[in-house]
Amino acid sequence: MRLQYSSSIKIIRLPCTGKVDLLHILRAFEKGIDGLYVVGCLEGECHYKSGNLRAKKRVAQAKEILEKVGIGGDRVEMFNLSSSEAPRFVQAAEEMAARVKNLGPNPLRKAFKKMAA
Amino acid sequence: MIVADKKPIEEIIEEIRDYERILVAGCNECVTVCEAGGKKEVAVLASALRMYFMNQGKDVQIDEVTLERQCDHEYLEEIRDRVGGYDAILSLACGVGVQFMAEKYFSKPVLPGVNTAFMGGAEERGVWSERCQGCGQCILARTAGICPISRCAKRLLNGPCGGSTKGKCEISKDVDCAWQLIIDRLKELDRLDDYEQVMPIKDWSTERAGGPRKIIREDIRL
């Protein structure tokens, strides 16, 4: 459909969102990413039965941890859509891009700068 | 196995606030199975703590290690060479592991990272329940494999109390009446006569109430 979405988003493809591990999310934020969102199949329609449900739980855990350590739970989110719903994909992309822009850069970036100095 | 639950991260942060070089030590056995203190949980906790301290502007070194067991001296020995490089050890093992670690590395502060709860097993993923309280005198042969010491709120030995309603304990509708379970099982095993026999008076001296316990096996001591 050649729809456009924010260029600040990098896509990492997986066979199933069930492959996303809590550590992937946490270590990415530890290294300074500003936001992360996981896009999986609609609930009940996971190709691998329950991968997207595991991802949902892991994203929820990540939210809680990031909130508690002061990075911000809003920086991570889970979206469910069918692979045929291109406009919804774009909507999710734009929503996350706007949200993360609003939240500002990862607070750890300041710490990195200080350590480099 | 020993079932433990993760400590809230705020509590852990409070415990380690005075230290700058911390070793987070996990255990590959019980706490791995109940997903509270294994290699994965060590990695998650270490990552979270690093982010917290970096965000606070504090330079705290947090390293990770997972031992096979922390209740065994030979496994604890494996980190002897590393221990000197840390101000404190945050152990995610059960209470036994934390204490053995503290005994072994006497001059190093050892802090707990999980809340050790009970001896039990998994009913389903994410749900663990108590089955044994270590009374030291197992009577499961007479109660069809269901323990009234750990599963009966009153630890009764000769049948349900008057509070047993529709198979549930009077303390909560989520708790099964242990004696209902025992009777049902005895019926299933065709051994209801066992129920009629009065249980002899229990010797509680082997229970924790008799003081801290020790088992010595002369037949295997060298």
Per-residue pLDDT in tens (0 to 9) along chain B, 222 residues: 999 999 999 999 999 999 999 999 999 999 999 999 999 999 999 999 999 999 999 999 999 999 999 999 999 999 999 999 999 999 999 999 999 999 999 999 999 999 999 999 999 999 999 999 999 999 999 999 999 999 999 999 999 999 999 999 999 999 999 999 999 999 999 999 989 999 999 889 899 988 899 999 999 999
CB–CB of B101/B23 below 8 Å? no
Distance from the A114 Cα atom to the nearest Cα atom in chain B, whole angstroms: 9
Range of the domain at A21: 17-116
Q: How many residues does chain B have?
A: 222
Q: What is the mean pLDDT of chain A?
A: 94
H or E stretch at A96: helix A86-103
Please check the confidence at residue A95 and state whether its pLDDT lies above 90.
Answer: yes
Which chain A residue has its CA at the smallest distance from B41's CA? Answer: A23
User: Tokens 């459909």 label which residue?
Assistant: A1
At residue B91, the 3 state secondary structure works out as strand
Q: Does the CB of B18 have a partner CB in chain A at under 8 Å? A: no
Please check the confidence at residue A117 and state whether its pLDDT lies above 80.
Answer: no
Q: Does the CB of B44 have a partner CB in chain A at under 8 Å? A: yes
Distance from the A70 Cα atom to the nearest Cα atom in chain B, whole angstroms: 7
- Asked, for residue A23, whether it belongs to a domain, the answer is yes
- Asked, for residue A8, whether it belongs to a domain, the answer is no
Cα–Cα distance for residue pair A69/B194, rounded to 1 Å: 57
Distance from the A14 Cα atom to the nearest Cα atom in chain B, whole angstroms: 21
Please tell me the predicted confidence (pLDDT) of residue B13. 96
Please tell me the predicted confidence (pLDDT) of residue B83. 95
- Asked, for residue A33, whether it belongs to a domain, the answer is yes
B134: left (phi over 0), alpha (psi -120 to 50) or beta: left
Please tell me the predicted confidence (pLDDT) of residue A112. 87
B199 to A77, A81, B202: CA distances (angstroms): 58, 61, 8
pLDDT band at residue A92, thresholds of 50, 70 and 90?
very high
- Asked, for residue A4, whether it belongs to a domain, the answer is no
Query: Which residues from B are below 8 Å from A69, CB to CB?
Result: 9, 48-49, 51-52, 55
Distance from the B29 Cα atom to the nearest Cα atom in chain A, whole angstroms: 21
Reported in sequence order, the residue ranges of B16-144 that DSSP labels E, i.e. its strands, are: 21-27, 61-67, 88-91, 110-112, 114-124, 127-132
Give me B68's structure tokens. 């096979």
Domain ranges of chain B: 2-118, 135-202
Please tell me the predicted confidence (pLDDT) of residue A114. 83
What DSSP state is assigned to residue B138? -
Question: How many structural domains is chain A composed of?
Answer: 1
Please tell me the predicted confidence (pLDDT) of residue A94. 96
- Asked, for residue A45, whether it belongs to a domain, the answer is yes
Dihedral of CA atoms A21, B54, A32, B8 in degrees, nearest 10, equals: 30
Please check the confidence at residue A113 and state whether its pLDDT lies above 90.
Answer: no
- Asked, for residue A12, whether it belongs to a domain, the answer is no
Please check the confidence at residue A57 and state whether its pLDDT lies above 90.
Answer: yes
What DSSP state is assigned to residue A37? E
What would be the CATH architecture of the domain defined by B2-118? Answer: 3-Layer(aba) Sandwich (3.40)
Please tell me the predicted confidence (pLDDT) of residue B50. 96
Give me A4's structure tokens. 């456009």
Please tell me the predicted confidence (pLDDT) of residue B35. 95
- State whether ipTM is beyond 0.85: yes
Please tell me the predicted confidence (pLDDT) of residue A80. 96
Query: Which residues from B are below 8 Å from A33, CB to CB?
Result: none
B21 to A79, B50, B108: CA distances (angstroms): 39, 11, 12
Mutate to test the interface with A, among B11, B24, B44 (most CBs of A within 10 A): B44
CB–CB of B7/B113 below 8 Å? yes
CA atoms within 13 A on the CB side of B191: 11
Q: Does the CB of B138 have a partner CB in chain A at under 8 Å? A: no
A26 and B47: CB-CB below 8 Å? yes
- Asked, for residue A77, whether it belongs to a domain, the answer is yes
Give me B207's structure tokens. 């229970």
Please tell me the predicted confidence (pLDDT) of residue A89. 95
Given B9, B47, B59, which is nearest A23 (Cβ)?
A: B47
- Sign of dihedral through CA atoms B202, B205, B208, B210? positive
